[in-house]
Structure 1
Amino acid sequence: MPRQQKPWISLDQQLGLLTDRGMTIDEPEIARSYLEKLGYYRLSGYWYPFRKISAHFNPELDIPIRHDEFINGSHFRDIVDLYIFDKRLRLHALDALERIEMAVRVDIAHLLGEIDCYAHENPECLHGRFSKQAKKKGPAKGKTEHQVWLEKYERAIWRARREPFIEHYKKNYEGIPIWVAIEVWDFGMMSMLYSGMKVKHQDKIAEKYGAPSGHDFSKWLRSLNFIRNVSAHHSRLWNINVLERAPIPHYEHWQKINNSRPFFYFCLMQKLLAVISPNSAWNKRFEAIVESFPEPENNAIRISEFGIVDDWESWPVWGLK
Structure 2
Amino acid sequence: MSEFIKPAKTIDEQIALLQQRGLTIRELERAKRYLEVISFFRLSIYMRPFQIPQDNTHKFKVGTEFKSVVDLYAFDRELRLLIMDAIERVEVAVRATINNHMSIKYQTEQPNSGSHWYLNESLFRGSYNHKRMLSDVENCQSKAHQELQRDIYKINKSNASQAVKEIHLQNRMRENYPRFYQHTYTSPRLMPSWAMVEELTFGSISHLYQGLAKDNDRKGISKRFDVPHQVFQSWLHTLNFVRNCCAHHSRLWNRELSISPKVPNSAEWALPERLEPSMVQPNRRIYVVLLMLAHLMRQISPDSQWHNKVKALVTVMYPDIPLAPMGFPDDWRTHVFWSGENE
Interval of TM-score (by shorter of Structure 1 and Structure 2): 0.7 to 0.9
Query: Which amino acid is 1:23 matched to?
Result: L
1:166 to 178, 200, 203: 178
Matched position secondary structure for 1:48? helix
The answer on 1:78 being equivalent to 2:68 is yes
Instruction: Deviation per CA, 1:245-281: give whole Å up to 9, x if none.
Output: 2113222242215221011011101111101000001
Q: Measure the CA separation in 1 of the matches of 2:251 and 2:222.
A: 30
Q: 1:1-321 residue pairs with structure 2 within 5 A?
A: 1-54=1-54, 67-114=57-104, 115=106, 116=113, 117-130=115-128, 145-161=129-145, 162=148, 163-173=175-185, 174=187, 175-198=190-213, 199-212=215-228, 214-256=229-271, 258-291=282-315, 292-293=317-318, 295=320, 302-321=322-341
> What stretches of structure 2 of length at least 5 have no aligned partner?
107-112, 149-174, 273-281
Report % sequence identity: 34
What is the deviation of 1:67?
4.6
Q: Measure the CA separation in 2 of the matches of 1:211 and 1:240.
A: 25
Q: Tell me the matched-pair count.
A: 291
State which drifts further: 67-76 or 15-24. Answer: 67-76
Answer 1 or 2: which has greater strand percent.
1
Q: Measure the CA separation in 2 of the matches of 1:246 and 1:304.
A: 19
Q: Measure the CA separation in 1 of the matches of 2:88 and 2:24.
A: 39
Instruction: Deviation per CA, 1:53-103: give whole Å up to 9, x if none.
Output: 13xxxxxxxxxx665111111111011111111111000011101110111
Counterpart for residue 62 of structure 1 = none
Query: Which amino acid is 2:303 matched to?
Result: N
**Considering only aligned residues, what root-mean-square deviation do their CA atoms show, in Å?**
1.9
TM-score for the superposition, normalised by structure 2: 0.80
What is the deviation of 1:206?
1.3
Q: Measure the CA separation in 1 of the matches of 2:143 and 2:56.
A: 44
Moved beyond 6 Å, runs of 4+:
none
Counterpart for residue 135 of structure 1 = none
Q: Measure the CA separation in 1 of the matches of 2:217 and 2:338.
A: 28
TM-score for the superposition, normalised by structure 1: 0.85
Query: Which amino acid is 2:193 matched to?
Result: I
Larger radius of gyration between Structure 1 and Structure 2:
2
Q: Measure the CA separation in 1 of the matches of 2:139 and 2:335.
A: 43
Matched position secondary structure for 2:53? strand
